[in-house]
Amino acid sequence: MSEPRVKIVYMGTPDFATPALVALNRAGWTVALAVTQPDRRSGRGRHVAFTPVKRCASALGIPVAQPDRIKGNAEFVNRMIDIAPDLIVVAAYGKILPREILEIPSMGCVNIHASLLPKYRGAAPIHRAVEAGERVTGVTLMYMAEDLDAGDVIASAAVDITGMNTGRVHDLLASLGADLLMDTLPAIIAGTAIGKPQDHAAATYASMVRKEEGHIDFAESADAVERKIRAMNPFPGAYAFLGGTRIKIMAAHVGTGGFSAPGTVLEASGAGIAVSAKDGVVVLDVLQAPGKKPLAASEYLKGACIDTTDVFR
């Protein structure tokens, strides 16, 4: 049961952060302010786009703040002091909170992180877990510290992600994180949620994903290629060049049989487009030509001529 007298400030930016905000609102918790990154221009038309958390908070009638910076921002700090939140909840906000913010709420600052800490601290824990071939990952709720994702762990929840792409894991963990927050919040409010220090020596870092990382190199192992295709979907998108055309690869699996020079098309049929990797075969299942919809290989081949003389680079 919620306690409306408890005042919460929520800080988050992308889609990952919206389920927990919705859950707090639905349960009747008092969210006094939603803090999110400034709106950015995006897309071909470079139109200004609201952050997902801003759209969500506005729809729920929650006031929104979008400071350009947090550290050294006296105006924002004073606003937070005036609000006097009991608790700050953070999910993928995008900036490290300075001590002057961390010390404001009497019940502390808690963060929902999309990995089983201390593994995959940093900006892209889901991408890196999928890319590394992790079969299990999860979410961690922690008390925040000044260092990146290094705070004491309150609770965690694990899930099997075998065969999933980043988009599917993202949605799963966003929902799981909201559930974990709601399950744990009463203990945090009561002061009985004791954090456990992380093993910092076991920490790994999940660096931000660059768009060019979506370029698939078939000189890697078949397993590595398949994992990377899953890791890069839906963003930034996996792709390779066939001739001068950039082809998006939406889904693939590791095949069997002999192999040739990396990138060589071994077979193109309704069963998929088999491409040689360093040590095996990767079968491309779903592809997307420029300006077209994603298509299963069988449908894609109806409009494209691909044969065993072709090479993906």
In this predicted structure, what is the pLDDT of residue 1?
46
DSSP the chain: ---TTSEEEEEE-SGGGHHHHHHHHHTT-EEEEEE-PPPEEETTTTEEE--HHHHHHHHHT--EE--S--TT-HHHHHHHHHH--SEEEEES-SSPPPHHHHTSSTT-EEEEESSSTTTTEES-HHHHHHHTT-SEEEEEEEE--SSTT-SPEEEEEEEE-TT--HHHHHHHHHHHHHHHHHHHHHHHHHT----B---GGG--EEPPPPGGGGB--TTS-HHHHHHHHHHTTTTT--EEEETTEEEEEEEEEEE-S---STTBEEEEETTEEEEE-SSSEEEEEEEE-TTS--EEHHHHTTS----TT-BB-
Tell me the average confidence (pLDDT) per consecutive run of 10 residues in the chain, 313 residues long. Answer: 77 98 97 96 76 98 97 96 98 95 97 98 98 98 95 98 98 98 97 97 97 98 98 98 96 94 96 96 97 97 92 97
Q: What's the pLDDT at 45?
A: 65
Give the pLDDT score at 46: 67
This prediction has a pTM of 0.95
Give the residue carrying structure tokens 């929520």: 10
Domains, the chain, with CATH or none: 7-206 (3.40.50.170), 214-300 (3.10.25.10)
Closest CA to 23 of 175, 161, 211, 237: 175
162-178 pLDDT tens trace: 999 999 999 999 999 99
Cβ within 8 Å of residue 66, ≥6 positions away: 35, 36, 37, 38, 39, 51, 54
Are 287 and 299 a contacting pair, CB within 8 Å?
no
- For position 4, what pLDDT does the model report? 52
